[in-house]
Amino acid sequence: MTPLNQHPAGRPLVILVTGANKGLGRETVRQLVAAGHRVFLAARDEQRGRVAAGETGAQPIVLDVTSDSSVDAAAQLIAHDVGHLDVLINNAGSTGDLTRETADVDGSDMLAVYDTNVFGTVRVIHAFLPLLSMAAAPTIVNVSSGMGSLTWATDPTKVEASWPSVVYASSKTAINMITVQYAKVLPNIRVLAVDPGLTATDGTGGMGKPIEEGVVAIVRAALDPAAAPTGSYTNADGPIPW
C-alpha cells in the first residue's frame, strides 16, 4: 500500500491553504513551498493574496470561505489548472470580538464567527472533495485550537480553561467534531485537526510564540501521516485530548 502523501511518482504535492495572506496561513505556505510543494495561497482579498503569494513563491487564488460562489470558483480554477488536490488546509479563521462580555454574546456574534470557522470549513471541504478524491492519498488539515478541547476547557491547570470564550472556543470544538465525523465516513481521506498553540499573529494581538513555531503542527500534519493519522487532534508535542 502506498503511504499517505507519498505519491508513487514522488512528485510535489498540490496543496491549498485558506486564509493565507498573513499569520499562520502565510507561514505554512512559505514552509510548504520551501519543501518543494506546489501551493495555492488562498485569500479573500485578491491584492493581499497576490502580495503574500509573491513573498512566499506560491500561486495566489481568491477564496472567501463565507461565500459559496467564491469557494466554488476556486475549486473550478484548481480543477481546470491541476485536476486534483493532495492536501487541503482549512486555516481561515476569525476570533470575533474578544472584548465582548460573555453575557453580551448574541446570535449574530455566533453566526459571524461560525460562518467563517465552522460553516466555512464545511463549505470548503464540500467544494474540494471531488478534487481530493482524484488524489492518490488526500489529506484534510483542519486548523482547530486547544481552545476547542472540552478536556482542557474543564481542567483548571490548563490556560485554555482560564479564557472565557463562548464564541471562538465553541467554534473550534465544532471543528473538532466535524473532523471526527468526516474521518469516520471518508476512509480514503486523512482528515485531522491541529492546534497551533498560542502564536503571535494579528489574531492574538501579537501574543504567543514565534509564528515559525506556531506552524509546526500544521506543516507536520500536512506532510507526515504517521505523526497525524486520520481522526487525530495534535499539537507540536503530539496528540492532545478532545
Ligand X SMILES: NC(=O)c1ccc[n+]([C@@H]2O[C@H](COP(=O)([O-])OP(=O)(O)OC[C@H]3O[C@@H](n4cnc5c(N)ncnc54)[C@H](OP(=O)(O)O)[C@@H]3O)[C@@H](O)[C@H]2O)c1
Query: Hey, CA dihedral for 210, 31, 18, 193, is it positive or negative?
Result: negative
Phi first, then psi: what are they for 51, rounded to 5°?
-65, -50
Smallest distance from the beta carbon of 88 to ligand X, in angstroms?
A: 13
Annotation says 172 is catalytic: yes
Site residues (CB under 6 A) for ligand X? Answer: 18-19, 21-25, 44-45, 64-66, 91-94, 116, 143, 145, 195-196, 198-199, 201-204, 208
* β-bridge mates for residue 238, sequence order: 235
Smallest distance from the beta carbon of 97 to ligand X, in angstroms?
A: 13
Q: Give the CA angle between residues 38, 40, 45 to the nearest 5°.
A: 160
225 contacts: CB under 8 Å, gap ≥ 6: 3, 4, 5, 137, 139, 190
* β-bridge mates for residue 43, sequence order: 62
User: Of 22, 114, 158, 168, which residue is the catalytic one?
Assistant: 168
Q: Between 88 and 143, name the residue whose CB sits nearer to ligand X.
A: 143
Are the CB atoms for 235 and 192 separated by under 8 Å? no
Q: Between 64 and 86, name the residue whose CB sits nearer to ligand X.
A: 64
Q: Give the CA angle between residues 27, 31, 37 to the nearest 5°.
A: 125
The grid coordinates listed for 135 are 488524489
Annotation says 182 is catalytic: no
Cα separation, 238 vs 242, whole angstroms: 13
Smallest distance from the beta carbon of 66 to ligand X, in angstroms?
A: 4
User: Of 22, 114, 158, 172, which residue is the catalytic one?
Assistant: 172
Q: Between 65 and 216, name the residue whose CB sits nearer to ligand X.
A: 65
Smallest distance from the beta carbon of 2 to ligand X, in angstroms?
A: 30
Cα separation, 213 vs 209, whole angstroms: 7
Smallest distance from the beta carbon of 103 to ligand X, in angstroms?
A: 23
Cα separation, 72 vs 112, whole angstroms: 20
Secondary structure of 114-158 as H, E, C letters = HHHHHHHHHHHHHHHHHHHCCCCCCEEEEECCHHHCHHHHCCCCC
Residue entry with cell 464567527: 113
> Which positions are annotated as active-site residues?
168, 172
